[in-house]
Structure 1
Amino acid sequence: MKKIKSLTALACALTLTTGIFTGCGSSSGGSDSSKNVTVNIFQFKVEAKTALDKAVKDYESSHKNVTINVQTVGGGQDYGAALKTKFASGDEPTIYNIGGPQDVQDWKAKLEDLSDQPWVSKAYDGTLDAVKSDGKIYGLPFDMEGYGFIYNKSIFKKAGIDPSTIKSYADLEKAVTTLDSKKKDLGIDAVFGTAGKETWIDGLHDSNVPFALELKDGVSAFKAKTINFTYADGFKKLVDIQNKYAYKPDGTNKSINSVDYSTQVEKLFSLGKVAIIEQGNWIYSTVSGINKDVADSMGLLPMPIDGVKEGCVPVGVPMYWSINSKKDAATKKAAKDFLNWLYTSDKGKNAIINDFKFIPALKGYDASNLQPVDPISKELTKYSKAGNTIPWVFMGYPTGWGQNKLGTDLQKYTSGDMTWDKLVQDAKDQWAAARK
């Protein structure tokens, strides 16, 4: 594909085609107070932990009166539940993460109005809609991300499969059966590395595919009192094909539920034991740290629903940085300054691109040294320019519905302890009950 010329082009391509976005740096100064301030960050993105720790040290070196502590809870853990526990303990963080309109409602009493912050004017159109309420803005977007079926190009090439031909469910099924028939020659243990233990993967990411076709965007999902589960049959096929051809530790479907994120990404995909996993561009740093050849050989396939002509890649803002409104003025000022520094200063922007490996949701990243280099971000550009993207509607799911209810039911279905019809009915009933 064509070489990316600038992040502006990339961001515009994403925002113009996701369906939730409608649009196509300065350096932050030091604190003006000598008062010592401590900022505690409670964040979800395990893949960004090392980069965030590095950025914090860089910031502290030029802001001697500020101490920043970072606690990361994510990956195989439920961040939302952990955040509630954190607040309930009385040890409230200064900076924490929210996911969209449902979280804005749930945490409204603890959210600082960030409408006057310098980065607000730099946000791409639509990227702040999920965290707007009563004319106020309550979150800074982490970045823009996309996910789907990440595949190993080298394995596909060896199997004689042209990934550009995989658009429909039938195309995917054909490729998967071909890979399965050649497992021994390809040196793989299974076609898919399915992390059944992680209910956020199937309950949020996988389910987003059918519900993005039914619901317009995250805000619409948040306002929906009921769901029809219109594409339940197509979703079933998507779940079934992953289960049928998944890596199974003891040979049974039930054991798929014991495979966690680390096993999926680090032990199966990074070591070339499987050809496909469902993940997004955020895994590049992890895979690259284990096997750079595999990382640079990654490609991105759609997650097609049977009956829908073209497969699409979900693209959206994964989370937002928010500030605890109950903290004292000096602490909140330092927290705001750090976030501004991270996303708008020259040092911060360099870290966002080259350390975090983020695709910014803000303007101002036009310099040649601020362009994404990982293959999945480039793939996202391809899908976006072709108009083959769908929004992240799971940000508007009822609290806990996707991960704790639907995700758990999908585990039961995988293990044979629940029928699909029961799963669909439960999903409808639990959504309606949560919206009462």
Structure 2
Amino acid sequence: MNKKWMPLLLAFAMPMVMVAGCSKSNQTENATASSDQGTKTEGQVSIRIMGYNSEASRATYLKMLQEKLPNIKVEFQFVALDNFNNVLNTQLQAGEGPDIIELGGEARLLAKAGYLMDLTSESFVSKYADAGLTPYSVEGKVYATPLQSWYEGIFYNKKIFNDNGIQIPKNFDQFIEIQKDLAAKGIKPQTMGAQSWEPMMKQSIGLVNNDYYSNPSNKGFDEKFNKGEASLAETWEPYVENWSRMIKEGILKPDMLGLSYDQALDEFATGKAAMWESGPWAVSTILEKSPDFELGMFPIPGSNEGPGWLVGGPGSAFAINANTKHKAEALQILELTATPEAQQALIKDNAGSSFLKGVDVDLGEIYADAKEAFKAGNVYAPWTAAWDSGNPIVEAYGKSLQEVLAGTKTVKQALEDADQVNQTMRDSLK
């Protein structure tokens, strides 16, 4: 790929926030900060890590690096997500940049442009499950290794459910009926910060996961979609139409378009709504607002009974700058990261599961109702796992779903909008 396209492509690549599983605290940061992990001593090599997850979410891990790798002085640079690509792109085009880069959906674009080191032959790569490596692979070569996963399901207020005799829904019809019953009792069934385009995008894809991706015969769709040989409008429409009953039944309302993430979180945490879709990064805030909150999460149910699906996958990954002057030391960090101790350190400050083989993470009682979904491996987000230009595609789709909620577009038009972005990005990459 011609590098002159990188400013355009990266402008699309990562305006995403919780798409990559980032904590809400990082969504509102606008500053750029750098922190040295200790004082550099004689003989140490400085390695700069640039990330869009804050230092607080990496604290235990960074401390471990300093203890285990005394030959390296880690300089951690946090750059707020809304400015991350601008800073990174400027540095990379100048032949500079950090030694290690935290990446999300833009990994394939950077790899194709020659900015990332090929890690395929490194021994630590084989320690990760394929599901964690796929989003960071191009034509069979691996360019980054995953950190902890992210996932979203339906948080629910156990007290409201118990007080009203409600069971966890086993299929999508039950999910709809539960919400209609709660509404009839004067209880807001679900809150949603639809001021952001992400929640409807994710929840609708949760149903697509259940009803489309779970069918083995559809396994090749994402590859065809990348090549322009398949479209969302022709393939996903019946599943998204089914999900849109949430709008038609008045469960998701147009006034939610004025509701922010923080306002939706507050509604749920203070007992004003029975359900809210989000992920583990929100738990601490919920419990800070309501220490006695009885919190649970269940997966998004499908049309047929089953374990359900969560939306998620690798949250972000570490890649090595192809132009680093300290290749050996950067590889040491990635090699150490591919150990159970490092994975547990990452998870301690930023909840998630691990893609390192053999690492077992106890997610706790909150996620007990999603246990079967996790056990079945029912966690997927096609835009991060498989699509070449995933982030701009789902942004277009999500924004068009906002128009569906407002009553100015149809589901088919929303999917066609996403298909058009896919075609535009494919044309740009030629």
TM-score by length of 2: 0.73
CA distance in 2, matches of 1:72, 1:273: 35
Match of 1:37 among 31, 46, 62: 46
Match of 2:356 among 353, 357, 362: 362
Runs (5+) with no aligned partner, structure 1: 1-30, 185-189, 247-251
**In structure 2, the residue corresponding to 1:245 is in which secondary structure?**
coil
Pick closer, same or farther for the CA change 1:95–1:309 going to 2, 3 Å.
same
1:172 and 2:175 correspond: yes
8 Å Cα contact 1:226-1:431 kept in structure 2: no
CA distance in 1, matches of 2:124, 2:368: 25
Match of 1:419 among 396, 399, 410: 410
Q: CA deviation at 1:123?
A: 1.2
Q: Equivalent residues in 2 for 1:34-73 (5 A)?
A: 34-43=43-52, 45=53, 50-60=56-66, 63=70, 65-71=72-78, 73=80
Q: Which residue of 1 aligns with 2:345?
A: 351
CA distance in 1, matches of 2:421, 2:321: 32
Runs (5+) with no aligned partner, structure 2: 1-39
Q: CA deviation at 1:287?
A: 3.2
Structure 1 residues 18-71: Cα deviation after superposition (integer angstroms, max 9, x where no partner): xxxxxxxxxxxxx9981441413223x56xx52313432443356375132231
8 Å Cα contact 2:232-2:415 kept in structure 1: no
8 Å Cα contact 1:141-1:317 kept in structure 2: no
Q: CA deviation at 1:170?
A: 1.5
Structure 1 residues 368-408: Cα deviation after superposition (integer angstroms, max 9, x where no partner): xxx414335444432244x4826321223434443431111
Match of 2:196 among 195, 198, 206: 198
8 Å Cα contact 1:139-1:321 kept in structure 2: yes
8 Å Cα contact 2:146-2:317 kept in structure 1: yes
Q: Equivalent residues in 2 for 1:241-320 (5 A)?
A: 241=246, 244-246=250-252, 253=254, 255-265=255-265, 267-294=266-293, 297-304=295-302, 306=303, 308=304, 310=306, 312-314=308-310, 316-320=312-316
Pick closer, same or farther for the CA change 1:53–1:355 going to 2, 3 Å.
closer
Q: CA deviation at 1:110?
A: 1.3
Equivalent residue pairs, number: 372
Q: Which residue of 2 aligns with 1:147?
A: 152
Pick closer, same or farther for the CA change 1:425–1:53 going to 2, 3 Å.
same
Q: Which residue of 1 aligns with 2:25?
A: none
CA distance in 1, matches of 2:100, 2:288: 28
**In structure 1, the residue corresponding to 2:57 is in which secondary structure?**
helix
CA distance in 1, matches of 2:137, 2:41: 30
CA distance in 2, matches of 1:373, 1:324: 30
Pick closer, same or farther for the CA change 1:162–1:399 going to 2, 3 Å.
closer
Q: CA deviation at 1:300?
A: 0.9
8 Å Cα contact 1:226-1:432 kept in structure 2: no
With a CA cutoff of 8 Å and minimum separation of 6, indicate the structure with the bigger relative contact order: 1
Structure 1 residues 266-322: Cα deviation after superposition (integer angstroms, max 9, x where no partner): x1222322211122344334434444543x521213243x5x554721365233423
Match of 2:371 among 381, 393, 398: 381
TM-score by length of 1: 0.72
Cα RMSD after superposing both structures:
3.5
Pick closer, same or farther for the CA change 1:223–1:284 going to 2, 3 Å.
farther
Q: Which residue of 2 aligns with 1:207?
A: 205
Letter in 1 for 2:258: S
The percent identity for this pair of structures is 18
Q: Equivalent residues in 2 for 1:98-247 (5 A)?
A: 98-99=103-104, 103-108=107-112, 109-163=114-168, 166-183=169-186, 190-204=188-202, 206-207=204-205, 209-210=207-208, 213=212, 215-216=218-219, 219=223, 221-229=225-233, 230-241=235-246, 244-246=250-252
